[in-house]
Homo-oligomer: A and B are copies of this chain.
Amino acid sequence: MAMNRETTQSIPVVRRTGKIALEEAVGSPLFAAHQNYPPRPVIKDLDGLPFSTEFLADVESRLDDVELRLKSMDQSGVQYAILSLTSPGIEGVSDTETAIYFARETNNAIYNKYVRPYPDRFGFFACVAMHDPGEAAKELQRAVSQLGAKGALINGFTNLDDRDDKLRYLDAPECEPFWKMLHQLQVPLYIHPRLPPIHQQVLYSQYPNLVSASYGFGVECAGHALRIMCSGILDKYPVTIILGHCAEALPFIIHRANQRMKIGTPGGNGAHKHSLMYYFQNHFYATLAGVRRYSTMKNTIEELGESRVMFSVDYPYESNEDAADWFDGLELNESTRMAIAAGNATRLFGLPAMAD
């Protein structure tokens, strides 16, 4: 008999129902009708797409299939999913008028296809066109008040041209009307990763799959979150921000980042009043989307507390079943399990309790 030879056997896991998932992607008929618009990852200009064609075909077959989605949710014990337009979404549309139009119609389409017919299974985060933050604020208000949107989801920077040469992060002063509306409506903002701007992709050149791997790393998304903290906008509008993938490694690095800011150039930190750690712990929630590693989840809980960590899947880029098998199999106490599986989301979004 040999040391450490591996075989695969099956062990039982107890499937739990009632989970809530928050980073769940859908397509948009608007994009489907306009071939020259994203979703299209800009990385392909450099080295080709970081996903296999088989993977993309599977994703595409699932992105807009309601029945398949519900079946997969049922098999995985996911009771309720908050949907959002797949990355890069509106943020990848460089023309302002088009973006405004796409955002509004996409929100209507998601509402009509998912939320209205299945109110106990689906909610959604509105997409908005940050090309014109005043319009974004209006659309957010409409989506929340008329369509019941649970907040907004933004896929990283917003393209203001076709080549990533001009782009906008959410800390830009122009964005203030949108922050003001978030605060007024008391809804959270989910910041979702997107591929980094093309001139930043040199770090991954020759290994396009690393973009995807480091996409998980969330360098772009974590940097975006740090910019927002530094800008001071959270001092003015203390809104709640959600990050996926266990907050994109911020739990691991935020303490050191915090220390480093103290030795920085005067004025080089932005106009914020508190420490990075303060904003992180008081304004951010993390989801487990895409993470199936207990030590990563635990580090996240240790830095945010178990009341700020929420289950999620990232369907159809990840499998509901894989996420549920992993999460349901974790050795958690009931209180922590329930908080992460559903309780924290129920509280944050004012959802009805999902028990019998």
Q: Measuring CB to CB, which residues of chain A are less than 8 angstroms from any residue of chain B? A: 1-18, 47-52, 55, 74, 79, 167, 171, 196-197, 199-200, 202-204, 206-210, 212-220, 222-224, 226-227, 230, 245-246, 249, 251-253, 255-261, 263-266, 268-270, 276, 278, 281-282, 290-296, 298-299, 302-308, 325, 329, 331-336, 338-339, 342, 353-356
Q: How far is the CB of A342 from chain B (nearest CB, A)?
A: 7
Smallest beta-carbon distance A192→chain B, Å:
15
Q: Give the residues in chain B near A9, CB-CB below 8 Å.
A: 12-15, 325
Contact yes or no, B223 A356, CB < 8 A:
no
**Given A203-B200, A209-B264, A256-B291, A10-B7 contact (CB < 8 Å):** no
> Is the pair B222, A207 in contact by a Cβ cutoff of 8 Å?
no
Given known contacts A265-B49, A296-B252, A335-B305, A2 and B260 CB-to-CB distance under 8 angstroms: no
Knowing A216-B260, A227-B207, A252-B249, say if A15 contacts B4 (CB, 8 Å).
Answer: no
| B335→A11 contact, CB < 8 A | no
Question: Which of A204, A260, A276, A334 has most chain B Cβ within 10 Å?
Answer: A260
Docked-complex contact B3 and A305, CB < 8 angstroms: no
In the complex, the answer to whether B6 meets A265 with C-beta atoms within 8 Å is no
CB contacts (< 8 Å) of A215 on chain B: these are 260
Nearest neighbor of A335 in chain B, beta-carbon distance: B305
Q: How far is the CB of A98 from chain B (nearest CB, A)?
A: 24
Distance (whole angstroms) from the CB of A44 to the closest CB of chain B = 10
